[in-house]
C-alpha cells in the first residue's frame, strides 16, 4: 500500500469533509430551530454559486466583492423561502414540510436552468494557486483554501451561538419553543434567522465547492451527501455535524479513489444504513421519547 498516496487522498477528503461540516451546520441550525428537514439545501448552495458566477463572471466584479454578495444573496433567498413557503406549513405533518422543500429544490433548479442554461459552467478562479504542502503531502490549493475559509466561518458560527444574544435565543427556541416565547424571545424572528444563517453557511460552502468542482444544475445532488452527514451525526447535534461531516467527506473521497467513482454514494449510504439500524437518532443526536 502506498502510504503517501493514501495520505494525500485522506487529506483531500478531510478538507472536503470540512466543507461538508459547514453545510451540515447550516442544515442542523435550521433543523434545531424549526424542526424542518431541508431537502433544498443543495439547491440553495447551487443558487449562491450561480450568483457568484453572475457577479464575478458576468459583471466582472472582483471575486472578493462577489463572494460576500453571493453569500448574502443566498441567505436572503433562505429568508424569503422561510417567510413565503415554510411559515404557512407551520404545524403540518413533517412529511408535508419535507415535500415543500423538495418542491422548492425543483423550482430553484428550474430557475437556474432558465437564467444560466443547463450547461456546466466554470467559476472564475479566485483562490491562490501555489500548491500547498503539509509535510510531504500535496494538497490541491483550491481545496486547501476552501477549507480555511470554510473553517473560519465555522468557528465564527460556533462562537456566535455560544456567546451572542441571538445565538442564545436560537438555542433557547431549539430546546423549548413555548418557554422561549414566554421569556420574550421573538420565536418567529428566530425561525427566520435560522433559515438566514443556515443558508448563509450553505451559500459560502456552495461557492467554495463549486470553485473546486465546477457548477451545473445537477450540483444540488451534493445535498444527498449532506443528508447522510446529518443523519449519521444526529439531526440536532452541532458536534455531530462536525464529526460526521469530516468523516463522511473522508470516506467518500477514499472510496472514490480506491474503488472508483461509482462507489462513493453506496459507501456513504452503507454507513447511513448501519447507523440507522444501530442508533437511529445518530451518533450525537438526542434520543426522543414518544408519548401518546
Partner 1 sequence: MRIGDAKQSYEADEAIWTSHTQKLWFGLFLLILLLFPFMADSYLLYLGCLVGIAVISTTGLNILTGFTGLISLGQAGFMGVGAYTVAWLSLNTGLPFPVTLVLAGLMAAAVGILVGLPSLRVKGLYLAIATLAASVFLHFIFAEWESVTGGMGGLSLEPAHLFGWSFQSDFMMYFIIVPLAVLMVFAARNVFRTRIGRAFIAIRDRDISAEILGIDLLHYKLMSFALSSFYAGVAGGLFAYFFRVVTPESFPLSMSIFYLAAVIVGGMGNLLGGILGAAFMTLVPEALKLITAALTPFYPDAPVFMSPMLEIIFGALIVGFLIFEPHGLAEIWHRIRRFFRLWPFRN
**Where do contacts with partner 1 occur on this chain (CB under 8 A)?**
37, 85, 88-89, 92, 94-96, 98-100, 102-114, 117-118, 224, 227, 231, 262, 265-266, 269-270, 272-273, 276-277, 280, 290, 292
Count the Cβ atoms, other than its own, within 10 Å of residue 194. Answer: 25
Instruction: Select 104 or 241, whichever has its Cβ closest to partner 1.
Output: 104
Our CB check for partner 1 shows the closer of 29 and 231 to be: 231
Nearer to partner 1, 38 or 253 (CB): 38
The SS3 of residue 121 is: strand
Minimum distance from residue 261 beta carbon to partner 1 (Å): 11
Closest approach, Cβ 141 to partner 1, in A, equals 32
Give 4 or 118: the residue with its C-beta nearer to partner 1. 118
The three-state secondary structure class of 123 is coil
**How near is the Cβ of 287 to partner 1 at its closest, in Å?**
12
Minimum CB separation of residue 227 from partner 1 in Å reads 6
* Residue 265 CA from chain centroid, whole number: 17
Q: How far is the CB of 128 from partner 1 (least distance, A)?
A: 36
- What is each CA distance from 123 to 53, 54, 215, 254, in whole angstroms? 6, 9, 7, 26
Cα separation of 88 and 81, whole Å? 11
Secondary structure of 26-51 as H, E, C letters: HHHHHHHHHCCCCCCHHHHHHHHHHH
Which residue in 223, 224, 217 sits closest to 265, CA to CA? 224
- Give the residue among 14, 2, 41 at the shortest CA–CA distance from 203: 41
Select from 130, 121, 135 the least CA-distant residue to 210. 121
Secondary structure of residue 138 in the 3-state scheme: strand
Shortest distance, position 156 Cβ to partner 1, whole Å = 30
CB of 39 or CB of 157, closer to partner 1:
39
Q: For partner 1, which is the closer residue by CB, 105 or 180?
A: 105
Amino acid at each position: 500500500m502506498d502510504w503517501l498516496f493514501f495520505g494525500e487522498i485522506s487529506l483531500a477528503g478531510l478538507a472536503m469533509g470540512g466543507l461538508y461540516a459547514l453545510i451540515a451546520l447550516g442544515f442542523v441550525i435550521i433543523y434545531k430551530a424549526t424542526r424542518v428537514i431541508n431537502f433544498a439545501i443543495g439547491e440553495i448552495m447551487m443558487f449562491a454559486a450561480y450568483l457568484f458566477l453572475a457577479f464575478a463572471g458576468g459583471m466582472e466584479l472582483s471575486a472578493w466583492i462577489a463572494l460576500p454578495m453571493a453569500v448574502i444573496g443566498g441567505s436572503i433567498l433562505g429568508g424569503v423561502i422561510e417567510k413565503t413557503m415554510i411559515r404557512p406549513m407551520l404545524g403540518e405533518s413533517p412529511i408535508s414540510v419535507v415535500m415543500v422543500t423538495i418542491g422548492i429544490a425543483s423550482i430553484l433548479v428550474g430557475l437556474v436552468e432558465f437564467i444560466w442554461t443547463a450547461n456546466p459552467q466554470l467559476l472564475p478562479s479566485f483562490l491562490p494557486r501555489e500548491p500547498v504542502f503539509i509535510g510531504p503531502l500535496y494538497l490541491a490549493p483550491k481545496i486547501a483554501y476552501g477549507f480555511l475559509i470554510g473553517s473560519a466561518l465555522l468557528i465564527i458560527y460556533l462562537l456566535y451561538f455560544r456567546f451572542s444574544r441571538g445565538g442564545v435565543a436560537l438555542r433557547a427556541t431549539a430546546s423549548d419553543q413555548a418557554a422561549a416565547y414566554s421569556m420574550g424571545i421573538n420565536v418567529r424572528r428566530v425561525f427566520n434567522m435560522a433559515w438566514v444563517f443556515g443558508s448563509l453557511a450553505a451559500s459560502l460552502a456552495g461557492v467554495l465547492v463549486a470553485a473546486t468542482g465546477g457548477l451545473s444544475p445537477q450540483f444540488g445532488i451534493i445535498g444527498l451527501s449532506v443528508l447522510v452527514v446529518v443523519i449519521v451525526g444526529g439531526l440536532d447535534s452541532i458536534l455531530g455535524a462536525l464529526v460526521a461531516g469530516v468523516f463522511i467527506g473522508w470516506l467518500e473521497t477514499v472510496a472514490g479513489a480506491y474503488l472508483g467513482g461509482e462507489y462513493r454514494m453506496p459507501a456513504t449510504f452503507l454507513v447511513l444504513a448501519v447507523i440507522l439500524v444501530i442508533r437511529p437518532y445518530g451518533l450525537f443526536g438526542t434520543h426522543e421519547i414518544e408519548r401518546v
